[in-house]
Amino acid sequence: MDKKKIIWISVLALAVLIIISIVVAIVIKNGSSNTPATSSPASSSQNSSSGKTSDNLPSSSGSSNSSFNANSSNSNNASTPASVEKVNSSAKPGNGDSVIKINNPNDPQEVKTVFDNFIQAKDSKDLDWAAFTDNNGNIIPLDNFSEAVGLKVNESLKTLLKPDQFNVFSCSGNNKNLGLLLNIQLLPDYKGNLYKDELKAMLDWEKTLLPDTHQVLFPGINFSPAQLSQTLVFRDGKYRYTEVALPDNSKGSINYTILDDFVVISNSPACLDKASVDLIGP
């Protein structure tokens, strides 16, 4: 074989190798773009530590009808509920429907006056989320609000909360139907099972939930010390709930649920329904 033929064969072989390499590269690129993306180490750590994997989350279309089940015969059993409801992040209350500015968030009397004005106002809204902010639009610290209105948050739960994220809500223009929303911190390096810790803290809080929250859930109702110390028997249902004996011998209730990174408490199951739907979508 002469030298010229050898050169042409070498060039042809090289061209074929280049074409094959290009084809292989294209196939690999297309294959990788069609592969489902995996979560980042941070998000995987957060989901794992919180115990909120997708296997535990029902679809939003059915979550509002699911029952709260603490799997307990009494309030001291902190077993994991059967399901956890998924929050639609686009439906979170954020800064609220009613942004109520407070000139001096460090003045308990001013904070209390602003809160009283909100709950006494006549409002035609079906559901009204209120956010209490300073003049710069920042939500005031939960500690400031709690001190002013007489709210006491369970210490174990408090360690899990965002200290500057909470809302008060009212329903249907009847400001006796009230509720409180607390935001859980989702930390990527959280040690333990966050949802179980939320539930354990709430089950522990049940023992003092009435005296700790009555200034928010039952404002203007004058409970005696004996009435505030009444034994509350919480039960599982659509929400975790208990009846409350009111001073006028009528019955009220405290109802709560855990919606992913929210703890939502209300004196009305109907009002809690509206808040839950607003959080998780229709």
DSSP, residue by residue, 239-261: SEEEEEE-TTS-EEEEEEEEETT
β-pair partners for 127: 171
Tell me the CA distances in angstroms from 22 to 34, 40, 184, one per residue in order.
19, 30, 51
- The top-scoring range by mean pLDDT among 55-64, 85-94, 200-209 is 200-209
Q: What is the pLDDT of residue 50?
A: 37
Is 90 exceeded by the pLDDT of residue 16? no
The residue ranges of every structural domain in the chain are 1-37, 51-280
Q: Averaged over 77-93, what is the pLDDT?
A: 34
Among 25-39, 136-150, 153-167, 201-215, the minimum mean pLDDT is found in 25-39
Higher per-residue pLDDT: 136 or 44? 136
- More confidently predicted of 5 and 9: 9
d(CA 125, CA 177): 12
Provide the 10 A C-beta neighbour count for residue 48. Answer: 15
Q: What is the pLDDT confidence band of residue 174, given thresholds at 50, 70 and 90?
A: low
Q: Residue written as tokens 């200290």?
A: 163
Task: Write out pLDDT tens, residues 119-151.
Answer: 888 666 788 899 999 999 899 999 999 999 999
At residue 65 the predicted structure's pLDDT band, cuts being 50, 70 and 90, is very low
Q: What is the pLDDT of residues 224-266, one digit of tens each?
A: 999 999 999 999 999 999 999 999 999 999 999 999 789 999 9
pLDDT band at 35 (very low <50, low <70, confident <90, very high): very low
64 band by pLDDT with thresholds 50, 70 and 90: very low
Instruction: Please give the model's pTM, rounded to 2 decimal places.
Output: 0.68
Greater confidence (25 vs 200) lies with 200
Pairing of strands 174-184, 240-245: unpaired
pLDDT of 179 > 90? The answer is yes
